[in-house]
A and B are shown apart, each in its own frame.
Chain A
Amino acid sequence: MAENVTARVRAPREASAGEVVSVRTLISHPMESGMRRNGDGEVIPRSIINRFVCTLNDEVVVDITLEPSISTNPYLQFEAKVTESGTFNFTWYDDDGSVYEESSDISVS
Chain B
Amino acid sequence: MSLTRRKFVGTTVTSAAALAVLPNLSLAEGAGEAISAYTGGAATSDTGITLIAPEIAENGNTVQIEVSAPGAEEIIIFADGNPNPNVATFKFGPAAGSQAATTRIRLAGEQDVVAIAKMSDGTFAKAVSNVKVTIGGCGG
Known: A64-B89, A65-B89, A77-B103. A71 touches B62 (CB 8 A): yes
Distance A78 CA – B93 CA, assembled complex (angstroms): 12
Distance A87 CA – B53 CA, assembled complex (angstroms): 32
Known: A71-B61, A71-B104, A80-B96. A35 touches B91 (CB 8 A): no
Known: A20-B98, A71-B61. A76 touches B103 (CB 8 A): yes
B138 within 8 A of A: yes
A71/B105 in contact, CB under 8 A: yes
CB of B44 to closest CB in A, whole Å: 20
B95 within 8 A of A: yes
Interface residues on B, range: 20 to 34
Residue of A with least CB distance to B61? A71
Per a CB cutoff under 8 Å, which of B91, B92, B102, B139 touches A36? B139
Residue of B with least CB distance to A26? B104
A74/B103 in contact, CB under 8 A: yes
Known: A33-B106, A70-B103. A64 touches B84 (CB 8 A): no
Residues of B within 8 A of A64 (CB): 88-91, 101
Known: A71-B62, A74-B103. A62 touches B96 (CB 8 A): yes
Residues of A within 8 A of B101 (CB): 62, 64, 76-78
Among A65, A69, A71, the one with the most B-chain Cβ atoms within 10 Å of its Cβ is A69
- A and B contact pairs by CB, cutoff 8 A, 30 listed: A20-B97, A20-B98, A22-B97, A33-B139, A35-B138, A56-B95, A59-B93, A59-B94, A60-B95, A61-B93, A61-B97, A62-B96, A63-B91, A64-B91, A65-B88, A65-B89, A65-B91, A67-B88, A68-B106, A69-B87, A69-B107, A70-B104, A71-B61, A71-B104, A71-B106, A71-B137, A75-B104, A76-B102, A78-B101, A79-B97
Which A residues form the contact surface with B (CB < 8 A)?
20-22, 33, 35-37, 55-57, 59-72, 74-82
